[in-house]
Structure 1
Amino acid sequence: MSSAIVFDQPGPPAVLQWRDVPPLLPRAHEVVIGVEAAGVNNADLMQRRGHYPVPAWAPRPLGLECAGTITAVGTDVARWSVGDRVCALLDGGGYADEVAVPATQVMPIPRGLTVVQAAAVPEVAATVYSNLAMTAGLTEGQTVLIHGAGGGIGTFAIQWATAIGAHVITTAGSDAKVRIGLELGAHTAINYRDHDFVSATLKATNGRGVDAILDVVGSDYLARNLECLAADGHLVIIGGSTTPTLLDIGLLMSKRASVTATMLRARPIHQKADIIAGVTRDVLPLFESGTVRVVVDTIVPMAEAARAHQLLESKQTVGKVILDNRGRRQL
């Protein structure tokens, strides 16, 4: 019998329970991964509270990324074999002893990373790469504003953008997280509690504005983000408040700018396959060379997922919180 973290009704972290679940068999296009570690993401917290739209096809347990060893392979899968050490972007189900995932969403564990570090890679790498590289087209020499320097997304996005030669401006809610943003490669870091990030961003760009913005705040920042955009700039919204708000079409048109809102989990399988192919080709080598490092704040036993959620909800963490299932995998 396999086990997983599940919950019967939305609520606080205490609703999460470690229970027995039926063992998995892969469909033709899937592999089954014996989960040794899984990343914790804000989407997991929202789903636990009942505030996240879960695709109908998603597994019941939480968890959008994991790392471990392939234990079974579907009949149509050619690239992967039983025993391969991998990490994967999931539709759900990562808080478990095992998870079934489309083979096209699986990646090798980058050389030099532990299985725990590898579990922190798929969701942030796929989110940042798909939005800044594939959608916003961020390239060397351009300037990007990244909100949330201390989060899992922010700590990776700052490093990746710096690695490709972009000029990075970031925001954070404390001086400690401002320092972390600078340490990770940001040229300018703004404590938004003490300074107006619009004024600070325009000052840092000599009034020009930025070519791209990666936003995790949503509705509350929409108007101010548009002020920060340069001509032909692109705002990508990946989270935060979805409260209806006004969009200044005149300002958007005058800048020839664009706004995109995306949700990675709901993308169809072929889009996720394209994203994972790009991450494997363009991002994993940055981890292997040490150009980009994994930032893990806390490692928690998987059976204590409730504590991991409490930690992330405290907003005191920097980087990722990871669930460790290696002890159970060795039983």
Structure 2
Amino acid sequence: MKYYLGLDVGGTNFAAGIIDENYRVIEKISVPAGAGRSIEEITEDMANVSLEVVKKAGVDISDFTSWGIGMPSFVNPRTNLLVHANCFGWKNVPIYSYLERHIPLPIYIENDANCAALGETLAGGAKGYENVLMLTLGTGLGGGIILNKKIYAGADMMGAELGHTKLVYNGAACTCGQYGCAEAYCSATALIRQAKEALERDPESLMVRLCDGDISKLEAKTVFDAMKQGDDTARQVIEQYIDYLSCAISSFVVIFRPEIIILGGGVANAGEILRRPLQERLLVNTYAGSEIGVPDIKIAECGNDAGLIGAAMLEKYGMNRNQK
């Protein structure tokens, strides 16, 4: 049995895991990321948690042929610099030189959303498909594209930032510094903002009571829960959100023509109350949708393990561009 070593890096936690050749997670450890510290400290912890999971699995680091890492950024293949990891405040950092000090393996680094898309393709909701579009509806809007069972990232290997395609000209401010990005309308953060704006018009909405009168505690789940209980303002917010999301996805569909669309992230936990109307709206909003059809939308199945599985398998299914 061959094993693969992966690390899924987030702003909150690092998850290291051992994946077998059937894409099963056989061992996993998660530790706090500790954002705000120096790059030396953070990269050392990235290595330490990976070495710890190797030890816990009862294998040796020499049993692995690579170390795959999913990060909320891209590596520029011309400079080998990690471009922009917002959660750590890193811009153009020589990430390999820090990591190589700790683990003597070839290192593959890929955007975390791309890793999640690969993980779902290999072991989750997109298993059996070769052309997949995945969106993660979380704090931001992550996007991953799999074409012919390989991660697609464009000519400079830094593409598929689907969340930062434009949805509304000169629209809402996005965390990236631009305006009108899909992320500013389709992320969980955007849904919460839209709900709070609606509460300015209807302060008696059930959403207020569901967060105990403190709208700073309002979450995406709060909006869906209120809608399920018949709150009309929450229903209007969700319908508007689905309109935005379906329009964004329709653009991706006509460009990439995926076989299936996978939704992950916190908002996707709403399940059918989100998926079913989104599927219906996608058919209406997509060019030639009635004539050609649109891909099925499915909820991700691997949960937090998707990015870990994808990272571990980068040597096999990535673009082989980040090996040092």
Structure number having the greater strand percentage: 1
Q: With structure 1 as the length reference, what TM-score do the two structures score?
A: 0.29
Query: Which structure carries more helix by proportion?
Result: 2
What TM-score, normalized by structure 2, do the two folds share?
0.29
